[in-house]
A and B are shown apart, each in its own frame.
Chain A
Amino acid sequence: MHSNIFLIILGMGLVTYIPRMLPLTLFHRIELPPFWRGVLRNVPYATLGALIIPGIFLIQDDPWFGIFGFTSAVVASWLGVNITGVVLISVLVLTVYTTV
């Protein structure tokens, strides 16, 4: 175990903070061309896609685990359940699935 663990943590914190901070402060008042503003507005939806796929299907070795979790979340939110409800329903469905 490293004795300089605190310095490692500090370094990790620094390299994590800088990318989070730079765009919000440097681009503070910069007006981007319309095309690139459009691209940046697309980023959240694309990010969500990349965060969900393929991750959710790889949580467990059993592919059905991810498929059931994904489907219950899609159905619940499609029916208009709020975000906390969607999370709880998926967890509940998978608790039932793993215990049965």
Chain B
Amino acid sequence: MFRHGIKSGVAIAIGYAPVALTFGLLAKSTGLSLMDTTLMSMIVFAGAAQYISLNLLSLGTGPFEIILTTFILNIRHFLMSASLNEKAENDSLWKKALYAFGITDETFSVASMKQGTVSASYMFGLIFISYSSWVINSAIGHIVGAYLPESVQVSLSVALYAMFVGLLVPAVKTERKALWLAVCAGAINCVLLLWLNVPKGWAIVISTIISAICIQWVVEKGKETEYAQ
């Protein structure tokens, strides 16, 4: 299962590479040492929050605001962890507490789309390769800087989005409900982000919850009317 996890994580590792390389480079230009940069990727392991923290650090923002912003941005993982728990095998508590550290948008998405249940060893494999790519490439980015040609760098920025699409489409093919859930959440997310200026972390949480509840409600209503007829 560990090997299965590693295999599933290859796409994540590829997608993380350019994001982590860029993070390393930006961290260097923000004035972080190689050690601080690598440590941040090792301890936090959350792309968006790390990027934003660099921004805040360069603006001279206080520690409390930086940590609070990180919390707000990453609160969405609470929801993902709760959802993954429904799929998780009954592994011992310390194993679950350990792999919980590696829950990101990407590892969560891949694990959730897996058929059947999710075991700790699968999660360890999945997280091992993703985490390694994230940490090592952050360090490389700091050391080498961005030597990738501009056009490749730009086009690599689509990698993680392409992965999300690649996870969603097979689910949509087998289950119409998946499409409605995704489209509904995406539409709400647009309104929250672009129109109401809700912070990104909250926007994802709110749009996910509204979509998941509404579609579930519609599905159950549909079942009731079927029984009634």
Residue B181 is within 8 A (CB to CB) of chain A in the complex: yes
Q: How many A-B residue pairs have CB under 8 A?
A: 292
Q: Is B63 an interface residue (CB 8 A)?
A: yes
**A1-45 CB contact bits vs B (8 Å, 1 = yes)?**
110111111111101110111111101110010010111111111
Interface residues, chain B, with chain A CB atoms under 8 Å away: 8, 10-11, 14-15, 31-32, 36, 39-40, 43-46, 49-50, 53, 57, 63, 66-68, 70-71, 74-86, 88, 90, 93, 96-97, 99-101, 103, 105, 108-110, 112-113, 151-152, 154-159, 161-171, 173, 177-178, 181-190, 193-194, 203-204, 207-209, 211-213, 215-216, 219-220
A41, B213: Cα distance in complex, Å:
10
Q: Name which of A4, A25, A65 has the most chain B CB atoms within 10 A of its CB.
A: A25
Shortest distance from the beta carbon of B50 to any chain A beta carbon, whole Å: 8
Q: Which of A67-97 contact B (CB under 8 A)?
A: 69-70, 72-74, 76-78, 81-84, 86-95, 97
A-B contact pairs, 25 of them (CB 8 A): A12-B40, A13-B44, A20-B103, A28-B90, A32-B86, A38-B216, A42-B211, A43-B83, A45-B185, A46-B181, A46-B184, A47-B79, A48-B168, A49-B211, A50-B188, A65-B158, A70-B161, A72-B162, A73-B158, A74-B165, A78-B173, A83-B8, A84-B10, A90-B158, A91-B155
Bound-state Cα–Cα, A8 to B156, Å:
30
Given A15-B74, A54-B193, A86-B163, A10-B215 contact (CB < 8 Å): no
